[in-house]
């Protein structure tokens, strides 16, 4: 049994814990507490999902860093262009 409970996004299973059963053949069965609605998944698929989540998080972090450095560079370029326009503007 899990410690946490399902939130309201799961409809009738709201506030139920998840019961986990290890089945023969490296299968995992997940079902809401006190129900018969089970989902079965291979352990290799669970591992693949966990690895994909970790990789996606690192890719997203790199993309955020790249976006932040690009925003800093573009802001500096805008500032330089604005200063150049002020300096080059003829005084009348």
Residue 53 pLDDT > 90: yes
Are 44 and 26 contacting, i.e. CB atoms less than 8 angstroms apart? yes
| 45 or 10, which is more confident | 45
DSSP 24: T
List, in sequence order, every residue forming a beta bridge with 68; answer none if it has no partner: none
List, in sequence order, every residue forming a beta bridge with 18; answer none if it has no partner: 32
Q: Quickly tell me which residue has 């450095």 as its tokens.
A: 69
Residue 17 burial (CB < 10 Å; 0-12/13-18/19+)?
A: middle
pTM of the model: 0.64
Rounded Cα gap, residues 18 and 49, in angstroms: 18
């Amino acid at each position: 049994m899990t410690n946490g409970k399902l939130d309201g996004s799961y409809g009738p299973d709201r506030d139920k814990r998840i019961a986990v059963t290890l089945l023969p053949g490296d299968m995992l069965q997940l079902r809401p507490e006190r129900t018969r609605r089970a989902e079965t998944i291979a352990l290799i698929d669970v591992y693949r999902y966990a690895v994909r989540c970790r990789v996606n998080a690192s890719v997203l972090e790199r993309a955020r860093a790249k976006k932040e450095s690009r925003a800093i560079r573009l802001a500096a370029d805008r500032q330089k262009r604005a200063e150049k326009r002020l300096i080059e503007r003829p005084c009348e």
